[in-house]
Amino acid sequence: MRWNPYAAECPTRQLLDRIGDKWAVLVLGLLEPGPQRFNALRRRIEGISQKMLTQTLRSLEADGLITRRAFATVPVTVEYQLTPLGRSLNSVLDPLREWAEANMSRVHKAREKRGAVDRK
Amino acid sequence: MRWNPYAAECPTRQLLDRIGDKWAVLVLGLLEPGPQRFNALRRRIEGISQKMLTQTLRSLEADGLITRRAFATVPVTVEYQLTPLGRSLNSVLDPLREWAEANMSRVHKAREKRGAVDRK
DNA sequence: TCCCTTGGTTACCATTAGGTACCTATACCA
DNA sequence: TGGTATAGGTACCTAATGGTAACCAAGGGA
């Protein structure tokens, strides 16, 4: 069965809901080099709240994109790590990140021009 | 200057805000083959409201990703069309769409399993 | 005369996202 | 005894998202 990307239950639409959530892609990117601990992620992502980091990690875990491992140290240590599925998603997100770095300045320029003209 | 993707003003983050808005990517995809009219888009995207389609088109236009042309026919005809920038964005979104079609079933499986086990 | 089409705009309203602040538990160090 | 760090959970509150419904214009057809 061929998917119709414009139907509500389409996978593309669901994926966009997934990665459009402001933090998920950043977390995936940070985990690329290797496992990271909770507070390490928190410190590296500017502006994320504890609540949102927890929420993001939980849902990435629920979706099978990362795994969580807790160690009985004191204080407790928790490591998050990409699954193969998460790594494969990362590999298609990379071109997106590159496009953003290369082209967002043009988007900004277009936006400013519109703002100046102010199409009533 | 090298961008820190984890800083708030980072282009990647801004792009995600852009394409995470539920409808923009679908519109861009539909415009790939060629110019389309307002109601043609509306009919092909299941579930979009007139308000959201207008809003989406306006902001894609403001960002320089599509152009709008109105013809003084009766009733008035309006055509939307990708700019070169929009086409280049589409080319990096394609792998994403393919990933979604190939892998969202795994994500769903992972999600169901979690739901069944119900951690805690 | 009223309704149809095109392509919108606007007001209103409910849901959600996401922030802050405070709570937990454990064990270290001074 | 109190303060540190670890990794969270939870209540509360506000701002933004996005839906519905009603309105606009212009002209054609019954």
Q: In sequence order, what are the residues at sequence separation of 6 or more whose Cβ sits closer than 8 angstroms to the Cβ of residue B40?
A: none
How far is C-alpha B107 from the chain's CA centre?
A: 21
Query: Which residue among A45, A89, A100 sits closest to B15, beta carbon to beta carbon?
Result: A100
What is the rounded end-to-end Cα distance, in angstroms, of chain A?
46
The 10s digit of each residue's pLDDT in B67-80 is 999 999 989 999 99
Q: How many DSSP H helices and E strands does chain A contain?
A: 5, 3
Domain range summary for chain B, segments of one domain joined by +: 11-117
How far is C-alpha A15 from the chain's CA centre?
A: 11
**pLDDT computed for residue B82 by the predictor:** 98
Kindly determine whether the C-beta of residue A39 is less than 7 Å away from any atom of nucleic acid strand C.
no
C-alpha count within 13 angstroms, C-beta hemisphere, residue A8? 4
The 10s digit of each residue's pLDDT in A4-24 is 545 556 788 888 888 888 799
Question: Which residue of A2, A3, A14, A16 is the best one to mutate when testing the B interface, meaning the one whose CB has the most B CBs within 10 A?
Answer: A16
Instruction: Please give the Cα distance from B38 to B78 (Å, whole number).
Output: 6
Contact B5 A97 (CB under 8 A): yes
Any idea which fold B11-117 has? Arc Repressor Mutant, subunit A (1.10.10)
Q: How many DSSP H helices and E strands does chain B contain?
A: 5, 3
Secondary structure letter of residue B120 according to DSSP: -
Q: In sequence order, what are the residues at sequence separation of 6 or more whose Cβ sits closer than 8 angstroms to the Cβ of residue A15?
A: B96, B99, B100, B104
* Least confident span in A90-94, B14-18, B84-88, B89-93: B14-18
**pLDDT computed for residue A9 by the predictor:** 66
Instruction: Please give the Cα distance from B52 to B22 (Å, whole number).
Output: 10
- φ, ψ for residue B73, nearest 5 deg: -85, 180
**Residue B41 — pLDDT band, cuts 50, 70, 90?**
very high
**pLDDT computed for residue A1 by the predictor:** 38
Instruction: Please give the Cα distance from A81 to A61 (Å, whole number).
Output: 9
Instruction: Please give the Cα distance from B57 to B31 (Å, whole number).
Output: 11
B42 pLDDT above the threshold of 90: yes
Kindly determine whether the C-beta of residue B41 is less than 7 Å away from any atom of nucleic acid strand C.
no
Query: Which residue among B4, B104, B109 sits closest to A11, beta carbon to beta carbon?
Result: B104
Kindly determine whether the C-beta of residue B62 is less than 7 Å away from any atom of nucleic acid strand C.
no
B1 pLDDT above the threshold of 70: no
Instruction: Please give the Cα distance from B41 to B94 (Å, whole number).
Output: 19
DSSP string, B76-112: -EEEEEE-HHHHHHHHHHHHHHHHHHHHHHHHHHHHH
